[in-house]
Each structure stands twice: as C-alpha cells, then as structure tokens.
Amino acid sequence: MNAPLNMDHHWLPFTNNRLFHEEPQMFERAEGRRYWTPEGQEILDGASGLFCCAAGHGRTEIAEAVYEQLKTLDYTPHFQRAAPISFKFAEKLAKILPEGLDRVFFGGSGSEAVDTAMKLCLAYHRAAGEGQRTRFVSRNWAYHGVNLGGTSLAGMVNNRRDFSGVTCDVVHMRHTWTEEQRYTRGQPETGADIADDLEELCRTYGGETIAAVFVEPIAGSVGTIVPPKGYLQKLRATCDKYGILLVFDEVITGFGRTGSAFASQEFGVTPDVMTMAKALTNGCVPMSAVATTSAIQDVVYKAANGDRPEFFHGYTYSAHPVACAAGIATLDIYERDGLFARAKAMSDTFLDAVFSLRNLPNVSDLRGYGMMSGIQLTPGAAPGAKGSWAQRELFKAGLHLKATGDALIFAPALTVTEEEIAAMTDILRSVLGRSV
Ligand SMILES: Cc1ncc(COP(=O)(O)O)c(C=O)c1O
C-alpha cells in the first residue's frame, strides 16, 4: 500500500493552500485533452493545462526529442558558450514570428520574458542616446507575470498590493472592457478610443520619458478581454509618434490561440518587441522567448564597445538545450498537424458552445476570440468567491478550467474535438446552472 502523501512541505503558488489541504484537487496522468486524478477520475482539460499544452498532452514526439537531447547534451552554459540547437530553434521560430521580429532571446518563463523585454527596451533607448526613457505604460487588469518588472506592470490589485516599494515607474491606461461590449463575440466594434489614454499619458508625463508600452493583445488572465477594432492600431500610431516601443506580451496568445501564429498577425499590428512562453514547448519544458527586430538589436550591438557583452542580461537556463529540443519538436507538430489553421477552423464551433451558456444564472458576460474565451460569473459573497467555487465544482464534475477572480478562462487545446467541446460545455452548463 502507498504511504499517505505528506503535503506539509510544498507551498503551492497562487493557491489557497489551507483550503487545498482540506480538499486536494490533483492530477496524476494526462493524455490528449484529459487528465486523471490519483483516484482515477477523468478530468477534461478545458484550459490546455495553463494555456500551454496547445497540442494536447502526452505528445510522444516531444518526449522522445527531450530524451534524446538529455542523452546527447544535457546542459550548455550560454554565457560566452552555446550549442547549435539554440540557433536552429531560433531560426525555426523566426519563420513563424511576425514580419521583422527575427532576433530571439531565450528565458525560462513568461515572467522572465517580460522582465527581459523591459530591460531590452531600457538598454535600447540608452544605446540610442535616450536614457531618459525610463517609464513604462501598462494597462489596468494587465497580467505580465510575477517578477518585479511584471509586478510593476500588473493591473490586478492582488498581484501588486503586498509588493509596493520595489516596483518600477509604470503608469496605467484603462482596460478596454466597457458595458456596451457585454456578450460580444470577437472584437468589439466600440472602444478603440480608449487607446487615446496613451496620448493623454504622453501629454501628462512627456512622451520622451516613456520607454515602452506593454499590452497583451488579448488580455488573457483577467478572463479574455478582446481588443476593440482599431484599438491596437491606435496604440501603434501613438507609439510611433512619440518614439515609444510597443511590446506585445503574447505569452498566452502565441502559437495559434487566435487562429494565427500570433495575435500580432491576426490583428495586423506589429510590435517592436514580443514575449512568448507557455505553448512554445507545449508546456513540456519551461522556456520563454523575447523577439525583436534587427534594427533594435543593431542599436544595442553598436553601443557596446570593447569586450563587453552587448546586453548585460541572461539566465543560467537561457536557451536550455533540452527546452530547445522540446521547442523544435513542438513547432514540428504545429506545422505538420496544421494546428493554427485548425484553431481558426474550430473557433466557430467553440464560440458557439461558449455563447450557448448565455442565460445561465451564474453567468454575467461571455467573451471570446479564436480558441480562447472568458466566462464572467455573477458576483458571489466576496470578490473571487464565485470563481473559486466554480473552479472547484467544475473539477468535481470532471472539467479543469482556470479561474481568476470571478472570471473563468476556457481555452482547450487546439487539437480538441467537437465532441470534447460539447462534453466540456455540458459540464459548464450543469455547474453554472446551479442556484448558489
Ligand atoms: C500575458 C502573460 N505574461 C506573462 C505571464 C507569466 O508567465 P509565467 O507564469 O510563465 O512566468 C503570463 C502567465 O500567465 C501571462 O499570461
């Protein structure tokens, strides 16, 4: 008989550990779009893990590539050393990146990518003789990871509240959700003028003091807030007017989630810098990347003199060869199985299912684009209580979804079948239809 699991020592992230210990919800095995608990209960995965497993779980191609790499070259330092595999991976990635963004810097997580992007923007401006650009612009409701840069950019109060005093100089624009947009499927027709906030901040602080504007093209963690038509274009124009870099944080939206490789291509707006993580390796090995243009790289390179590295930044696990192997195998799957096109083709079926939840008693808004959606719940006893209740009850009923506050994020793997979407929606209907 197995010894009972001692849960005293591992402190879980973003978790009410006290509640979790009373009623653990765990996974022991995964395959396709399914998890299984240690007790053997099947749980449909409606969140691609945490939006990482775009090609579904248990892809043997990735497992084999990782095993082979571990046997061949388990680790390479990347400070003044490298291995061919990271150059091969970067070249492969550059083929699907938005036009012009073909220089890639690797990290280990989305949070690292965000902080890397912030430092790259600062380094670029300093190299370009504009060291006074030290301020960043972000947005209310933004999530850009949890390192100190990302925490400074954060627009979600619980992610900031306890950590003041160490944050960077960041000013916030409004989020783009308005009452008029309630139950909008796809991009809202109204709200592009909210981008005028950037112009206003440039007037208030001086556009020449701002290094970069960070946005998630679709705000993911807050529950899928889709940008109004024309909004991202307006941000791009204002950035150009004031010489500010535009950064898209595509940690969730990257790799087919919108139906294109990246939201940038889907919405027709190219940033100067882009972050990605999660589905980069199908969630199999931690890895992230920041992409930028050769023009930006050139400025940073040219400013470095003598022997010094151009960019004083990097991680022990930057471009880890095992992560690169997983990444190459993942991109091969996306390409071979045409998963980005599949996401586009499946989106209508998926959004039909999501919007069929409209009249349930616990639902107050629905939003969605491509293969990602947000289900806003009616308020519970306290902010976040309804979301936490729903997440736990859905699990018991056989569905894994992510809740943030009182929003659920429903974003299954791009390989999901129509039958699985229907089964996931049935579970949502049964739980969100309850009177609580
Ligand atoms: C837009 C965005 N940026 C950054 C991050 C942070 O990524 P990680 O949790 O890998 O540090 C996330 C994670 O959800 C995210 O959604």
Give the DSSP letter string of 123-147. Answer: HHHHHTT-TT--EEEEETT----SS
Atom of ligand 1 nearest to the CA of 145: 6
Q: Running along the chain, 436 residues long, what does each successive block of 10 average in pLDDT? A: 87 95 96 98 98 98 98 96 98 98 98 98 98 98 97 93 88 98 98 98 98 98 97 98 98 98 98 98 98 98 91 97 98 98 98 98 98 98 96 98 97 98 98 93
Q: Which of 247, 249, 248, 333 is nearest to 283 (CA)?
A: 333
What local confidence, expressed as pLDDT, does residue 94 receive?
98
**41/400 Cα distance (integer angstroms):** 12
The enclosing H or E element of 65 equals helix 60-72
Residue 251 C-alpha from the chain's centroid: 3
What local confidence, expressed as pLDDT, does residue 307 receive?
86
Does ligand 1 come within 6 angstroms of the Cβ of 368?
A: no
Q: How far is the CA of 221 from the centre of ligand 1 (A)?
A: 8
The set of residues, in sequence order, having a beta carbon less than 8 Å from that of 151 and lying 6+ positions away, is 145, 159, 160, 163, 167
- The residue ranges of every structural domain in the chain are 17-55+339-432, 63-336
**208/173 Cα distance (integer angstroms):** 17
What local confidence, expressed as pLDDT, does residue 1 receive?
56
What local confidence, expressed as pLDDT, does residue 32 receive?
98
Place of tokens 């783009």: 176
**159/37 Cα distance (integer angstroms):** 29
What local confidence, expressed as pLDDT, does residue 164 receive?
82
Place of tokens 């289900």: 375
152 backbone dihedrals φ, ψ, rounded to 5°: -65, -35
Q: How far is the CA of 251 from the centre of ligand 1 (A)?
A: 6
**419/33 Cα distance (integer angstroms):** 11
Does ligand 1 come within 6 angstroms of the Cβ of 249?
A: yes
CATH H superfamily, domain 17-55+339-432:
Aspartate Aminotransferase, domain 1 (3.90.1150.10)
Q: How far is the CA of 3 from the centre of ligand 1 (A)?
A: 35
Does ligand 1 come within 6 angstroms of the Cβ of 69?
A: no
Does ligand 1 come within 6 angstroms of the Cβ of 142?
A: no
Does ligand 1 come within 6 angstroms of the Cβ of 144?
A: yes
Partnered with residue 185 across adjacent β-strands are 368
Side-by-side strand order, sheet with 288-292 = 103-107, 288-292, 273-276, 245-249, 210-215, 135-139, 170-173
Does ligand 1 come within 6 angstroms of the Cβ of 256?
A: no
Q: How far is the CA of 285 from the centre of ligand 1 (A)?
A: 15
**290/19 Cα distance (integer angstroms):** 37
Do residues 411 and 373 make contact, with C-beta atoms less than 8 angstroms apart? yes
Which of 15, 53, 106, 114 best tests ligand 1's pocket when mutated (most atoms within 8 Å of CB)?
114
Does ligand 1 come within 6 angstroms of the Cβ of 221?
A: yes
With 0-12 / 13-18 / 19 or more C-beta atoms within 10 angstroms meaning exposed / middle / buried, residue 95 is: exposed
Does ligand 1 come within 6 angstroms of the Cβ of 86?
A: no
Does ligand 1 come within 6 angstroms of the Cβ of 159?
A: no
What local confidence, expressed as pLDDT, does residue 3 receive?
84
What local confidence, expressed as pLDDT, does residue 436 receive?
84
| Class of domain 63-336 as given by CATH | alpha beta
Side-by-side strand order, sheet with 29-31 = 29-31, 34-36, 42-45, 399-400
Residue 88, amino acid = K
Place of tokens 């930057």: 318
Atom of ligand 1 nearest to the CA of 51: 14
